[in-house]
Each structure stands twice: as structure tokens, then as C-alpha cells.
């Protein structure tokens, strides 16, 4: 028996879930034509698309409990607003409170074909130096899940990566567009954000 990594709710073990932590994050939002945007010492990063979607609270009430419909809808709406698609994304910060969610969310937003995301992980495509880095921050299992601050902390990571300000060994190579997906419950309330270099 694994004494340290005990079952939380089978098949999930303690290390399959993220720690709920304290934390906070903030971003400064301004109109790109505003004087402060031109005077700001750091390069502004554009929010190209942002969208939210909801789904039923109870998973058993969904048409297909294996799909995260609100994730798909929020992703589609954010892509539409940005005038982009999955192929435009350089890297992503995805809500991985449980190990399966990185895979499920990456498929719902079209980064990988349904049922194929695990192959990309196996091939190293989602690593920091891979074709499509996912969670260069380390994700929620690594950095923790400061519930109320998680979504904004993902956007902060997008900005740092797009500016080239991430720590050595954690910086995505030449990113142009980043996407974050955050949700509450089990995909009940979802927000997708796409940020791009100006």
C-alpha cells in the first residue's frame, strides 16, 4: 500500500490532485490607446480574446458526462473573438486541479484530437521545449491552487511568457500567443483567455 500517496477518491490519489493554497494575482488592464499604455515601461500584452461559458452543476445531468461542454464553448468563443484557432496557440495554461484535466481541457479547446492528448504528452510535445508547452508555470499541482486567484494567476503567466520574463528553464521559446482556461466546479463555470504580443 502507498502510505504517502493515499486514495482521496478512487482512482485519485493525493498526488493526483492539487493543493489548495493561499495566493493572489493582479493584472493592469488599460485601453491600448490610453497614454498609460504608451508610457508603461514594460511591453503591453494584448487580450485578443476572452469568453466564459457555463454548464449544469451536476455532471450526471449532462448529455455526455465525459465532455466538458463549457470548456469547449468558452474556447470557441475566445478563438472567435481573437480571430484565431488552436493552431495559433504557442503555449497554454490549463486548469489542472486533477491530473486528467490537462488532457481533457487540451482536447476540448482543440489543441489535440479527442483521445490523443496523452500521446502528445508521451512524445514530449507539451514539455517546456516541446511543440506546444502546457502549464509552463508547473500547473496547479506544482504551484498550488489559490482558488480565487487561480484564473488571474494564469493570465499573469501568459504575460510573463509573452514578454520573455519567465525564469530560466521555464521560458517558452519565442511565444506569440498564449491561452488560459480556468474553471470552477467540474467545468460548471469556465473562462478562456487568449493573450498575444502586440
Element (H, E) at 190: strand 189-197
Largest CA distance in the chain: 62
CATH topology classification for 20-197:
Peroxisomal Thiolase; Chain A, domain 1 (3.40.47)
Comparing 77-81, 128-132, 141-145, the range with the smallest average pLDDT is 141-145
For residue range 42-99, list pLDDT tens digits in order. Answer: 888 999 999 999 998 888 898 888 889 999 999 999 999 999 999 999 999 999 998 8
CA distance 146 to 18: 10
Name the burial class of residue 190, with classes exposed (0-12), middle (13-18) and buried (19+) by CB atoms within 10 angstroms of its CB.
buried
Overall residue count recorded for the chain in this entry: 198
pLDDT tens digit sequence for 155-195: 999 999 999 999 999 999 999 999 999 998 888 899 999 99
Gap between the Cα atoms of 92 and 128, Å rounded: 11
Amino acid at each position: 500500500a502507498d502510505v504517502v500517496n493515499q486514495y482521496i477518491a478512487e482512482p485519485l490519489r493525493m498526488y493526483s490532485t492539487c493543493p489548495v493554497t493561499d495566493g493572489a494575482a493582479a493584472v493592469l488592464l488599460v485601453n491600448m490607446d490610453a497614454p498609460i499604455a504608451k508610457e508603461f515601461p514594460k511591453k503591453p500584452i494584448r487580450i485578443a480574446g476572452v469568453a466564459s461559458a457555463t454548464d449544469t452543476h451536476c455532471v450526471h445531468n449532462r448529455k455526455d458526462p465525459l465532455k466538458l461542454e463549457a470548456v469547449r464553448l468558452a474556447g470557441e468563443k475566445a478563438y472567435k473573438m481573437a480571430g484565431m484557432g488552436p493552431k495559433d496557440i504557442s503555449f497554454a495554461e490549463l486548469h489542472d486541479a486533477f491530473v486528467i484535466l490537462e488532457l481533457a481541457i487540451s482536447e476540448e479547446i482543440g489543441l489535440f484530437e479527442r483521445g490523443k492528448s496523452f500521446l502528445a504528452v508521451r512524445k514530449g510535445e507539451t514539455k517546456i521545449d516541446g511543440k506546444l508547452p502546457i502549464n509552463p508555470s508547473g500547473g496547479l499541482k506544482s504551484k498550488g491552487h489559490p482558488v480565487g486567484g487561480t484564473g488571474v494567476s494564469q493570465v499573469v503567466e501568459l504575460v510573463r511568457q509573452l514578454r520573455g520574463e519567465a525564469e530560466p528553464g521555464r521560458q517558452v521559446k519565442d511565444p506569440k500567443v498564449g491561452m488560459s482556461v480556468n474553471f470552477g466546479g467540474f467545468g460548471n463555470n469556465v473562462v478562456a483567455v487568449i493573450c498575444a504580443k502586440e
